[in-house]
């Protein structure tokens, strides 16, 4: 059973708590951006919707050069979050020699899960078609994603690589090669019970096909349709959905897919909870975790 972080909370109360905590955290984390050029609030769909914006973090020393590109998909349980939640980690990725894109996407219950996945793929398609305009290299293209962002990333990766899934989801896209993914505390399925299961009806009711509902309940199953690219999975003993990471690891192991797995123990000075490298990238353990992800991705560039 997954630990319930918000017992007896309504969905609105959970979102308000998440937003309050993240605003306080980010206000204290006014980290310098030296070594990184940041371009914010670019549109991948030009419709005036803030949820269709993206940011780019360029490695300043190598600006304009063909650096590998990471597209980051933030978490938030499908119902919460914006690209800025991951900005400090994205800056660290950029300093390490990548150009990094942070995507917004629309949120449940205002839209359906299909709409969210469509947003992610629209962002990927826009970047693919306009990479030269933005001085981006798509010969080596990676995804980083945390929590529910990994759930959406699995869906997007599979749909990009399967015409059958494109027909099923009603989403078209160019053939985009994703060379690797890093998943931080990945959410791989809907909650069985507890406060976060309050989103389940919103997700399921927005889908019109039994196969779509099967994937929504357990997104790992969507990998049955494709060959997964190399994946780095990071979790921790104090991650409240740690079991999701192990379920994904076991699936990839059974498939014979290439992956690396990092499970941190309890923190010595602070709890290493859910997505701790995203929330607190300057912690010693976070520096190690981000370094492991950077090494994993750089090894895939050669």
Domain ranges of the chain: 11-299
Element (H, E) at 298: helix 284-299
* pLDDT value at 40 more than 60: yes
Q: How large is the average pLDDT for residues 8-26?
A: 90
| Per-state percent for the chain, helix, strand, coil, to nearest 5 | 45, 20, 35
Separation between Cα atoms, residue 235 and residue 285, nearest integer Å: 12
Domain 11-299 belongs to what architecture? 3-Layer(aba) Sandwich (3.40)
226 confidence band (pLDDT: 50, 70, 90): very high
β-sheet with 180-184: strand ranges across: 36-43, 53-59, 99-103, 68-73, 137-146, 180-184, 231-236, 259-264
pLDDT at res. 195: 83
Q: How large is the average pLDDT for residues 176-196?
A: 95
Q: How large is the average pLDDT for residues 138-147?
A: 96
Separation between Cα atoms, residue 275 and residue 5, nearest integer Å: 14
2 confidence band (pLDDT: 50, 70, 90): low
| Global confidence as pTM | 0.97
Separation between Cα atoms, residue 211 and residue 286, nearest integer Å: 38
pLDDT at res. 43: 98
């Amino acid at each position: 059973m997954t630990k319930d972080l918000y017992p007896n909370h309504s969905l609105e109360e959970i979102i308000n708590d998440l937003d309050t905590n993240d605003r306080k955290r980010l206000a204290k984390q006014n980290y310098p951006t030296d070594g990184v050029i940041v371009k914010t609030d670019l549109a991948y769909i030009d419709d005036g919707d803030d949820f269709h914006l993206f940011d780019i973090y360029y490695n300043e020393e190598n600006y304009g050069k063909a650096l590998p590109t990471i597209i980051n998909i933030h978490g938030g349980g499908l119902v919460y979050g914006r690209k800025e939640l991951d900005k400090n980690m994205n800056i660290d990725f950029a300093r390490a020699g990548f150009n990094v894109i942070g995507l917004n996407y629309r949120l449940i219950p205002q839209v359906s899960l299909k709409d969210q996945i469509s947003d992610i793929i629209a962002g990927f398609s826009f970047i693919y078609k306009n990479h030269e305009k933005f001085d981006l290299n798509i010969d080596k293209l990676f995804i980083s994603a945390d929590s529910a962002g990994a759930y959406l990333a699995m869906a997007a990766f599979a749909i990009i690589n399967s015409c059958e899934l494109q027909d099923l989801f009603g989403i078209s896209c160019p053939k985009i090669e994703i060379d690797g993914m890093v998943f931080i505390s990945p959410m791989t399925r809907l909650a069985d019970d507890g406060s976060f299961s309050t989103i389940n009806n919103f997700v399921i009711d927005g889908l019109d096909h039994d196969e779509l509902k099967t994937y929504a309940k357990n997104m790992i199953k969507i990998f049955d349709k494709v060959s997964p690219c190399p994946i780095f999975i990071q979790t921790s003993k104090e991650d409240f959905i740690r079991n999701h990471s192990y379920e994904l690891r076991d699936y990839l192991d059974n498939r014979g897919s290439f992956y690396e797995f990092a499970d941190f123990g309890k923190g010595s000075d602070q709890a290493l909870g859910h997505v701790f490298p995203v929330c607190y990238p300057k912690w010693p353990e976070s520096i190690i975790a981000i370094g492991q992800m950077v090494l994993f991705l750089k090894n895939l560039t050669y």
